[in-house]
Structure 1
Amino acid sequence: MTLHTKVLSLIDGRQTFKKKKKLIEWLMKKELLQGKMKCKLCKKRMKLEKHSNVDGLQWKCRRKKHRGKTTKKSVRSLSLFQRSKLSLFSWMKYIYRFSQGLQLRQIDLLQDGVAGSSRTLSKISLKLRKVCKSAIKRRERRGKQRLGGPNEFVMLDESNFYHKRKYGRGRFGPTWRRRKWVFGMLGIRGKRRRPILRLVKQRSRRHLIPLVTKYVRQGTTVITDMWRAYTTAIAESGFVHFSVNHSRSFVNPDTGAHTQNIERAWSTYKSQVWRLRGNRTVKTLKSHLAFIEWTHWLTNEHKDGPLGRLLHDIRHFCKF
């Protein structure tokens, strides 16, 4: 049975005690919940017992050393699900949709009974984006998030993630007015696309070139437009540089160089960010950009795809 089929079989149907227990046991097996719990009074292992709470089970210890006191602990202790009133079924339904890249329209999720309010859905989404951001940062610290090398070329471009008004009408406050320049580096190798997206204060040579030298391997073929920050700096930094003048053509007639791949990618990234109102603040935008990177860099590497990768990263995020 595949991971996708297993998860769907666990979360479908009525939430009976038997199904709750089965889901909790599976989450413990996957190390998303603690499989063992020690009593804080006697330091012995606690027992998992039936309870009337939303999970149906609770850790308890009733030893004589406690002098009549019963130690209790939630099965969610120290996990991603702690301090949440949402059922584990709803959590897993959202995690499944989130990992599959399905349209996470809040109205649909509310109608499907995943949560009772849009505020709850926003909190879950924020937690999962933190997990993804942590995973991509961990990869970067290990020095594995670099572009270029043999058979891979890199396209560079910058784009402005400002707020759009519906039909160009209405007012928006100072938070929305701020220009947020995002510098994109897109590694292309066959059908594979791997982006690195960084927020920059300005599109100047001083802000862009250090990022290129940090994330792109020396000797890589780099394609840009004719923006003045790239003119001589790319070649001087040890890269093979091709450019296209967009005021004359979209494809360089002499070399065939173009930036259409990254231009197309901007459209996809922006629609995703704007749909979830991810450009409200700098912090929120950074988390959405990190999630885009996580999707393209990490999900294809796992044998169980995006869902398997997300569960793997949740396990690392909440180490017991």
Structure 2
Amino acid sequence: MIQDGIAGSSATLSKMTKKLRMVCKKALGNYKRKTGQFVGGRTDMGEEELTKHGEEKSGSLASWLLGGSRNNLIPVITRHVRRGSTILSDEWRPYRRALTTLGYTHYTVNHSRWFVDPVHGGHTQNIERAWSTYKNQVWRLRGNRTEKLLKEHLTCIEWTYWLGHNHRDGPLGRLLKDIRRRYRV
């Protein structure tokens, strides 16, 4: 962009990307307030071993990245995942009883024994691949230098999956729409 005359310096590029991150953050915030970002139902599974950042579609199965301690994660699940949904996780003990008593179907995968559970067929490979992709995106953008910057980059990834990919004109069309809303002329 500097060579093409769009930006005069790397400082200008940094300011431009910060503005774009704020556009995504504002649009995602509006979306969350409007919809509550409820997920789940009869065909959805989530994995509670990582931090929620977006959606990975695999056929009719929507998988979610969730993580944190039991005290932090259980309120997030009850706020954003419909009761009766199926949740797939590793075999971390604190979640076992809590999720089933809260009205969720909870399956686990013992990673030390197999990748795909032989009883229910559940696996976490799509989530693991998605998480690897997200980590690589943040690393490539140098988005992990501060906690604030990391959160901004993760919000942009979330915006891409919640809003960008679902727009009829793709992520660029959605970005232009959100810029127009944020900076009305």
- TM-score normalised over the length of structure 1: 0.53
Specify the code of the residue in structure 2 equivalent to 1:306: P
2:138–2:153 contact (8 Å) kept in structure 1: yes
Task: Using CA pairs under 8 Å that are at least 6 residues apart, name the structure with larger relative contact order, 1 or 2.
Answer: 2
Q: How many Å separate the matches in 2 of 1:196 and 1:319? A: 34
2:53–2:65 contact (8 Å) kept in structure 1: yes
State the percentage of identical aligned residues. Answer: 52
Count of residues paired in the alignment: 185
Q: Which residue matches 1:190?
A: 59
Q: How many Å separate the matches in 2 of 1:241 and 1:207? A: 18
- Seen in structure 2, the aligned counterparts of structure 1 residues 192 and 228 have a Cα distance that, compared at 3 Å, is closer
Q: How many Å separate the matches in 2 of 1:156 and 1:186? A: 13
Q: How many Å separate the matches in 2 of 1:235 and 1:265? A: 26
CA deviation string 1:273-303 (max 9, x = no partner): 0111111112111111111111111123322
Q: Which residue matches 2:130?
A: 265
CA deviation string 1:176-205 (max 9, x = no partner): xxxxxx3557564626757567xx8xx321
- Seen in structure 2, the aligned counterparts of structure 1 residues 205 and 316 have a Cα distance that, compared at 3 Å, is same
The alpha carbon displacement at 1:227 in A equals 1.8
- Seen in structure 2, the aligned counterparts of structure 1 residues 209 and 266 have a Cα distance that, compared at 3 Å, is same
* Structure 1 residue 274 corresponds to structure 2 residue 139: yes
Structure 1: 5+ residue runs without aligned partners? 1-108, 159-181
Provide the secondary structure at the position in 1 that maps to 2:48: strand
Q: Which residue matches 1:313?
A: 178
1:269–1:292 contact (8 Å) kept in structure 2: yes
Specify the code of the residue in structure 2 equivalent to 1:148: G
1:154–1:187 contact (8 Å) kept in structure 2: no
Provide the secondary structure at the position in 2 that maps to 1:301: coil
- Seen in structure 2, the aligned counterparts of structure 1 residues 186 and 155 have a Cα distance that, compared at 3 Å, is farther
Provide the secondary structure at the position in 1 that maps to 2:181: helix
Q: Which residue matches 1:283?
A: 148
Specify the code of the residue in structure 1 equivalent to 2:132: S
Q: How does 1:61-80 map to 2 (within 5 A)?
A: none
The alpha carbon displacement at 1:133 in A equals 0.9
- Seen in structure 2, the aligned counterparts of structure 1 residues 221 and 189 have a Cα distance that, compared at 3 Å, is farther
Higher normalized strand content (fraction of residues): 1
Q: Higher Cα Rg: structure 1 or 2?
A: 1
Q: How many Å separate the matches in 1 of 2:180 and 2:64? A: 25
Which residue, out of 22, 25, 30, partners 1:133?
A: 25
Specify the code of the residue in structure 1 equivalent to 2:59: G
The alpha carbon displacement at 1:207 in A equals 0.9
Q: Which residue matches 2:168?
A: 303
* Structure 1 residue 152 corresponds to structure 2 residue 44: yes
- Seen in structure 2, the aligned counterparts of structure 1 residues 288 and 120 have a Cα distance that, compared at 3 Å, is same
- Seen in structure 2, the aligned counterparts of structure 1 residues 194 and 289 have a Cα distance that, compared at 3 Å, is farther
Q: How many Å separate the matches in 1 of 2:46 and 2:70? A: 17
- Seen in structure 2, the aligned counterparts of structure 1 residues 151 and 230 have a Cα distance that, compared at 3 Å, is same
Q: Which residue matches 1:238?
A: 103
The alpha carbon displacement at 1:125 in A equals 0.8
Q: How many Å separate the matches in 1 of 2:15 and 2:182? A: 16
Provide the secondary structure at the position in 2 that maps to 1:157: coil
Aligned Cα root-mean-square deviation (Å): 2.3
1:183–1:208 contact (8 Å) kept in structure 2: no
CA deviation string 1:119-141 (max 9, x = no partner): 21111111101101111111111
Q: How many Å separate the matches in 2 of 1:192 and 1:311? A: 30
1:235–1:241 contact (8 Å) kept in structure 2: yes
Specify the code of the residue in structure 1 equivalent to 2:22: K
Higher normalized helix content (fraction of residues): 2
- TM-score normalised over the length of structure 2: 0.88
2:56–2:127 contact (8 Å) kept in structure 1: no
The alpha carbon displacement at 1:144 in A equals 4.3
